[in-house]
Chains A and B, each alone.
Chain A
Amino acid sequence: MKRLILLTLFAAGLPLSSHAAGPGETVIRFEEIGEKAGARFVHQTRKFKGAKSDVLEMFTSGGSAVAVADYDNDGFDDIFLVDSDEGASHHLLRNNGNMTFTEVTKTAGVGGGNDPLSICADALWFDYDNDGWQDLMIVRFGTPLLYHNERNGKFKDVSAGTGMTLFTNAIAAIAFDYDNDGDLDVMIGNYFKPVNLIELKTPHVLPNDLDNAINGGGVTFYENVGKGRFIDVTDKSGLGRQTGWTLDLGHGDFNNDGLQDVYVACDYGTDRIFFNEGKGVFRETTETSLGFDTKKGMNAEVGDYNNDGWMDVYVTNITDEYMKECNMLWHNNGDGTFTDVSKETGTCGTLWGWAAKFGDFDNDGWQDIFAVNGLRSAGKDNYIPVVVNMITTPGIDFTDVNNWPDIKDMTWSGYQKKKMFRNLGNQNFKEISGPAGVDNVLDGRGLALADFDRDGLLDMCQTNADQPSLLYRSVTQNPGNYVELKLVGTRSNRDAIGARVKLKADGKTMVREVNGGNGYAGQSTLMLHFGIGTATQVDAVEIRWPSGKIQTVSVPINRLTRIVESK
């Protein structure tokens, strides 16, 4: 197995001479540099004890997460990698500015959380107290941890005083300002219902239905009330009725009204969409807003793939030889409804999908997609026929963990090649993972995009379950020009999460929003990246801040520009 991983990594780093760029031709390409960059760490899922331990391990194998932010304000994005096994430490990797990283976990004091009764599953950087320094939240199958950034490379555990004390089996977290009051609120997505899986009191903890389950953990929503305190507003905000198996959360302003709306990706059931009505209330419009859903929502990435000014949503599902679900690329129709165009655009099949992100990898002004996949790569025997025998047994109780057959060394949707889709700009995408050098076959989970070396090209960090993380440095040839923006809120939240930027260049109008952790198990940079193709100047930039302030600015090309919200 180790040999296979090494071979895969080696192959991923090989130069691909057969795809050398012609004169002036743009070729998206990445090289995998995790090892030499000091960013290679092997994630470990939680090991359970007793009968059916491997089934529980499989159901809880989603916690290999990555979160990116510039925690030390040196202008370079840093990386936080989550681990999940008992006693296993996370990894905080400080960016040295030369595409190498130094592990500073111990000094920072953020390695903990995998205690005997808690499993860490996701991480989120956000500046909860608007002091200009990124704080760190780690969500767990347990209670969340919040670390305050002490501005000296160290963090202080302030969890006890936050009010975020609910035990949930959390797998996702996002931060945004739902009431535009200038501070960031926290939404947590919960997979299982709130039972401790490590000390099982009942074996009936798994989904009650494999397509319409209603016994999951739903979401928990905390409002930031200042001074490091949060209060639970899940029910009050209209989110309490959702009891699905939440796998991911994505926020964005879907109807261009200045308020952040929410997409909830649910495993074993229908995804949910909630429009923010203002006054602290969300309204669910799933039935009228969305079309047919294939019931395995794994990822909720938000972005405008076709530059029409409306935020679309990309959801991964399972599309394998035994199950043809198709992903969902929800095209925002601009009237509160969405139409799935994944088949039409060529973005339907990513096998057993997990994280997926929009990003303009060639700087041509169109957002491409990278999706990671793969559940469990193990021996030659396949778990699918075995589990289907169980599933098709009349009257079987899916909730009972004892009814699920042992997995042992069987493979389940393993050894899957990752998928990168290049946006051709005409509502079509082309799969290019092989030529791009990103078609590794690890069991992917999380993904974060950032321009780690500030060369104007988006790099990627991929995390994998029970396998090493990968760091892909972009070596794209003949890319377009670019603009990178770091927004700083004053009246708005300091991170400017929820700010919308409209940039005109190269005959296009592009819209990006700063997001607080969209996409499964991966938080990308807070910096906004725009490819502008061959344009040598930007025609206009308009920022709509969460405060409602509209600000027009001029920005240079091919550099990062910091923009502070005007008073």
Chain B
Amino acid sequence: MIRLLSLLLLVVAPAAFAATAEDHYQSARKALTARNYPVALDAFEAALNMEPDNIRYASEYRQAVIGAAQYDRCIAFFEKLVAVHPMASSAFLNFGFAYVDKIPAAGSITQVILANTALTYFSKSIEIKPSWIALYTRGNSYLYWPKIFGRASLGVSDLEKAYQMQKMDRVKRSYHVRVYISLGDGYWKTDDIDKARAIWQEGLAQFPDNEQLKARLAREGDALAEYIDSVLDPNKRVDTNLQEIWTNL
């Protein structure tokens, strides 16, 4: 009998003690608190291998990567992840963000290449699932391209779709303000200042405390141009932390 129980335990034990994605995630967070980046990154990757579409794991993984300046490791990881999970839209989205995260650490021409590659993976994410976050992300990314490349109108198109999506959402979510800001910036970049001011006004009515909307509406002409150019400066690190998304789902 004892022998039988032992055998049973031997069989069951590996299953009972196999770490879950959440276990790896918690290990990663713990390691991160101790600033142990190698362990944290390994654990985040283990979690994502089990749940490739988990936006929280992916976002926190990338923030850890930024802290450790391990941009190429992150890109290589997502490349493998999407190869194994070709329908994981969030993984593709974060693959794109992995390129965006590297931009401030790169030379100016590499920045262009990274930004363009990011757009490729944002597009793949939209192709799989045209989510609000993916449309907003790609639309906003187009706005960082200088006028000469004529990409702002593509950004406006994406952001208008994201705008329609959030209009259909019965819940007002804090991150919806981003579309009001970016869509206005898109209109401004395509020389439609009236539409820009109208959408910023609409956003301010929805989010009366938003300083970014107030700042835009308080400026005109060169002052507004200088402000938006400063916001869309590719040399500044873009905040790609998606915490606001999962905390407001």
CB pair A211–B148 under 8 Å, yes or no, is no
Residue of A nearest to B115 (CB): A392
CB pair A385–B233 under 8 Å, yes or no, is no
What residues of A have a CB within 8 angstroms of the CB of B112 in the complex? 323, 388, 391-392
- Please, how many angstroms separate the alpha-carbon atoms of A62 and B142 in the complex? 34
Residue B106 at the chain A interface, CB threshold 8 Å: yes
B131-148, CB under 8 A of A: which get 1 and which 0? 000000000000000111
Q: How many residues of A contact B (CB 8 A)?
A: 21
A372-391, CB under 8 A of B: which get 1 and which 0? 00000000001011001001
CB pair B149–A211 under 8 Å, yes or no, is no
CB pair A294–B148 under 8 Å, yes or no, is no
Interface of B (DSSP majority class): helix
- Which of B116-170 touch A at CB < 8 Å? 116-117, 146-150
Residue of B nearest to A324 (CB): B235
CB pair A392–B146 under 8 Å, yes or no, is no
CB pair B146–A391 under 8 Å, yes or no, is no
Q: How far is the CB of A72 from chain B (nearest CB, A)?
A: 45
What residues of B have a CB within 8 angstroms of the CB of A394 in the complex? 117
Instruction: With A294-B108, A385-B150 as known contacts, state yes or no: A392 contacts B116, CB within 8 Å.
Output: yes
CB pair B148–A392 under 8 Å, yes or no, is no
Residue of B nearest to A326 (CB): B235
Q: How far is the CB of B63 from chain A (nearest CB, A)?
A: 21
Q: How far is the CB of B72 from chain A (nearest CB, A)?
A: 12
B98-116, CB under 8 A of A: which get 1 and which 0? 0000000011111011001
What residues of B have a CB within 8 angstroms of the CB of A384 in the complex? 148-149
CB pair B108–A318 under 8 Å, yes or no, is yes
Residue A196 at the chain B interface, CB threshold 8 Å: no
- Please, how many angstroms separate the alpha-carbon atoms of A322 and B116 in the complex? 14
- Please, how many angstroms separate the alpha-carbon atoms of A296 and B107 in the complex? 9
CB pair B116–A211 under 8 Å, yes or no, is no
Q: How far is the CB of B154 from chain A (nearest CB, A)?
A: 14
Instruction: With A324-B233, A324-B234, A324-B235 as known contacts, state yes or no: A391 contacts B150, CB within 8 Å.
Output: no
Q: Which among B108, B113, B146, B147 is the interface contact of A325 at CB below 8 angstroms?
A: B108
What residues of B have a CB within 8 angstroms of the CB of A233 in the complex? none
CB pair A322–B110 under 8 Å, yes or no, is no
Residue A445 at the chain B interface, CB threshold 8 Å: no
- Please, how many angstroms separate the alpha-carbon atoms of A321 and B108 in the complex? 12
7 contacts between A and B (CB under 8 A): A295-B107, A295-B109, A296-B108, A321-B146, A322-B146, A324-B233, A388-B112
Sort A-B residue pairs by CB-CB distance and give the 10 closest, nearest first: A211-B107, A295-B107, A210-B109, A392-B116, A211-B110, A322-B146, A323-B108, A325-B108, A321-B146, A211-B109
